[in-house]
A = this chain, B = another copy of it.
Amino acid sequence: MHYAASITRLLDELERLPGLGPRSAQRIAYWLLTADTADAERLADAIVEVKRTIRFCGKCFNYAESDTCSLCSNPKRDSSTVCVVEEPRDVVAIERTAEYDGLYHVLHGAISPMNGIGAEQLKIHELIGRLAAEGIDEIIIATNPNVEGETTALYLARLIKPLGVKVTRIASGLPVGGDLEFADQVTLGRALEARREL
């Protein structure tokens, strides 16, 4: 019992957050203790508020503050292209590139027999529903380039291609700024296989 009870409680709650060990939790707790009460309360409010306001977009299943997210309801976005991702955070990653102006569809996971996650647990049924209803020309599959993501990509391709919709997959290869010497053999193999004429 080195801490007052309410400090212990705060430390317990902070340590449950991802990436925070006892040291970083202690650092944050002491920062909060010395911070203005208004500053600490703004953080507490932001946590409560985000849980109160955020729901899933009824179309793409990204996080949204209303029934339809700001991307789906933006008339400037190209609604003929849909980029399929595993998680809402992937939408943010792709938006940051500023290279894409279509819509999204968030699967909320990837097919993973190891973890007992099958196609029916993902938002795949909802994606198929959008194909017909929204007049989509191209589905870009941007699941992660790992076993689960590739399995999901193949599954989706087999499901969607027969419906006459173009299905593409984001490229795998060496990261820009990367070093051939340090690339793993699978990535390097993919980079060779997917070589393009200059």
Contacts and interface: CB of A to CB of B under 8 A. Distances in A.
A13 B36 CA distance: 13
Interface in A145-161: none
A30 B92 CA distance: 12
Copies of this protein in the assembly total: 2
A41 B48 contact: yes
A69 B5 CA distance: 11
Nearest to A25: B19
A166 interface: no
Contacts of A49: 6, 9-10
A119 interface: no
Interface stretch (A50-58, A171-179, A183-191): A50-58
Contact of A43 (B4, B7, B47, B92): B47
A118 to B, nearest CB: 20
Contacts of A1: 70
A194 to B, nearest CB: 28
A26 interface: yes
A33 interface: yes
B54 A7 contact: yes
A41 B45 CA distance: 9
A133 to B, nearest CB: 24
A167 interface: no
A125 interface: no
Contact of A63 (B7, B31, B37, B51): B7
Contacts of A51: 32-33, 37, 40-41
A87 B31 CA distance: 12
Q: 9 closest Cβ contacts across the A-B interface?
A: A44-B44, A2-B95, A10-B46, A44-B47, A13-B43, A13-B46, A6-B53, A4-B65, A10-B50
